[in-house]
Chains A and B, each alone.
Chain A
Amino acid sequence: MKELLPLFVAIPLGLAFLMPVFGRISRFLPDVLGNVATLALAVLSCMAINSPTIVYKVGGWEPVKGAVIGIYMVLDGLTVVMLLIVNIVGFLVCLYSVEYMRRYTDKARFYTLFLLMMTGMNGVIITGDLFNVFVFLEISAIASYALVAFGTESEELEAAFKYQVMGSVASGFILVALSVFYWLTGTLNMADGGKALVEQGQSVGALFACGLFLMGFALKGAIMPFHAWLPDAHPSAPAPISAMLSGVFIKATGIYVLCRVLFNVFGLSLTTSHVLMTLGALSMIAGVFLAIGQWDMKRLFAYHSISQMGYVVMGVGIGTPLGILGGLFHLMNHSTFKSLLFLNSGAVDYSTDNRDLQKMGGLNQRMPVTGATSLVASMSIAGIPPFNGFWSKLIIILAAVEAGHYSLAGLAVLGSIMTLASFLKVQKYAFFGRLSPVWEKVKEAPALMCVSMVLLAVLCVGMGLLLLPGVKEGLLDKAVAVLTDGRKYANVVLGK
């Protein structure tokens, strides 16, 4: 596995560079190559499942007198989880795009940007160096700005502009944060920096850097007071890109890095734990209340992303092993059901050219696959057993009770009920009820789109199995262990 680690970045990157050239040669080559590349990435990430912790020194630069001088790539339990969701969802979305993106011009450029976005996310996930995080974050962010504006209609451009301004402000904060971090510790390596922070002891400077990082990544991850860009940006993008942005992008570039920095570099303190829980609970409740009044299908889903990210942040913020397990598992689950929901909305949009819930109705009769898969996804997100969302929400609530935060548990239950209500609304208005005569001639979405939706629905049903004893130890427990013993990360990476 060790030799294969750089391929997570190298494969999509190399293809992305040549994609414009391939696009001139043949119209189908970009479709084929894009899917082959993402499939290869998905297979690679499955191969990583049982690997031990790997530290890959890029360029072969060994530490000099204990100080890290090069860039490290690190593969540990948390990385594997993130790689799995990014690359599997990425592959399924890419499969979906083959048909969906026919409505847009210049497909080769779409695949170029898509692969660059994948590169960026994979790069952020596998690196162990803070500046490298920033660079790859910018790659995926810039690709996503362009992808949001890909349709070049006025609303999309406007959303893309707003999104890019917010994203650039976040990047600015992250860059300042990491320069303060470099100033404080003299290093950019996360493990070495964490060690330096322990040696120095608690200081105001560390708190300041931590606050700047929190601001930057909360803005990237759309946690509540910093959420304003998300409900515009995510719905305006083409459906596969909405699925990527809501499904994996905000997690890989926001929540994941935030966890890495807060747990593994700075070490979770009581203050950060409280801040995370408060922000999480705020997003959870406010997101769902904002969502329930929406009539635009994609906008409603986008507000739910804020709310569901609130669950994740709250679960992780509780800080107990059970809470972290719940948070991470919910993160995995959310990536499947939310991307499925956006793909469903894309299928509806593809067939009916409409996103307004009030104008739909009875689509189940005409689009059985879309209807059925969206029912699965809705039940998952609302937390109905036995779908995956139920298990992760249950664990989060149990963890909150166990840690004595009864009010948080209550809020989580309330949020869950509201989520159920708003998805009953979606199902009722869009898929059940009387078929309006306007939609008599509507056809089901093309086969490839259905295939990818069905596969995601299977994941939604089956992912509860990850909690079974025997399976849980191999994947989730390893990821949880990385965060619970946050400070151990330095020793693992530096090899002591």
Chain B
Amino acid sequence: MIPLLLAFFLFLIGLYGTAVKRNLIKIAIGLSIMEYATFLILALIGYREGGKPPIMVKGIQEKTLVDPLPQALVLTAIVIGLATTALLLSIAVRIYHKYGTFDVNEIRKLKG
């Protein structure tokens, strides 16, 4: 159970980073950490005691294979994470282009 607790803690660190940091890139990094923590949680859930990778090899019959479903979910989620990061960073670059800074405090045009 300890790895799972640690993974949830990692999630909270990412959340803290997104909520507290005032730099656009740091916020993106916080979000990435959050995503990694969710991948970690999913992968941990799928693990089976003494399990082998869920791939059949010719001539070998494995008894316990780990759960392939969470792995499939993580695979999907990793690509989604990459996609969000790319879009977020390009918005950040464009903001830098307009304001010349990544500092949230200096960007405030909207009233909030």
Contacts and interface: CB of A to CB of B under 8 A. Distances in A.
Interface in B1-27: 11, 14-15, 18, 24, 27
Contact of B87 (A131, A146, A159, A228): A146
Interface stretch (A22-30, A44-52, A165-173, A488-496): A165-173
A159 B107 CA distance: 11
Contact of B91 (A135, A149, A179, A228): A149
Contacts of A175: 38, 42, 77
B88 A154 contact: no
A172 B91 contact: no
A139 B3 CA distance: 31
B88 to A, nearest CB: 6
Contact of A172 (B35, B87, B88, B112): B35
B91 A161 contact: yes
A182 interface: yes
Interface in A120-149: 131, 135, 138, 142, 145-146, 149
Contacts of B94: 149, 152, 157
A154 B109 contact: yes
Given A149-B91, A157-B91, A172 B38 contact: yes
A183 interface: yes
Contact of B31 (A135, A160, A169): A169
Given A149-B91, A165-B27, A169-B18, A158 B38 contact: no
Residues of B in contact with A, size category: 20 to 34
Contact of B24 (A145, A161, A171, A172): A161
A154 B15 contact: no
Nearest to B86: A142
A376 B86 CA distance: 42
A160 B42 CA distance: 29
A147 B111 CA distance: 21
Given A145-B87, A160-B91, A161-B95, A176 B11 contact: yes
Contacts of B92: 161
B55 interface: no
Given A154-B98, A169-B31, A159 B88 contact: no
B110 A159 contact: yes
Contacts of B70: 179, 182
Contact of B95 (A157, A183, A228): A157
A340 to B, nearest CB: 25
Contact of B110 (A158, A168, A171): A158
B76 interface: yes
A142 B87 contact: yes
B109 A135 contact: no
A61 to B, nearest CB: 13
B60 interface: no
Contact of B45 (A160, A162, A183, A228): A183
Interface in B60-83: 69-70, 73, 76-77, 80, 83
Nearest to A155: B109
Contact of B99 (A154, A171, A180, A228): A154
A164 B84 contact: yes
Contacts of B107: 158
A193 to B, nearest CB: 13
Contacts of A169: 15, 18, 31, 34
A192 interface: no
25 contacts: A131-B76, A138-B80, A145-B91, A146-B87, A149-B94, A154-B99, A155-B109, A155-B110, A157-B98, A158-B95, A159-B110, A160-B91, A161-B24, A161-B92, A164-B91, A165-B88, A168-B35, A169-B18, A172-B34, A175-B38, A175-B42, A179-B38, A182-B42, A183-B45, A228-B112
Interface of B: 11, 14-15, 18, 24, 27, 31, 34-35, 38, 41-42, 45, 69-70, 73, 76-77, 80, 83-84, 87-88, 91-92, 94-95, 98-99, 107, 109-110, 112
Q: Which 3 A-B pairs have the closest CB atoms?
A: A154-B98, A183-B45, A175-B38
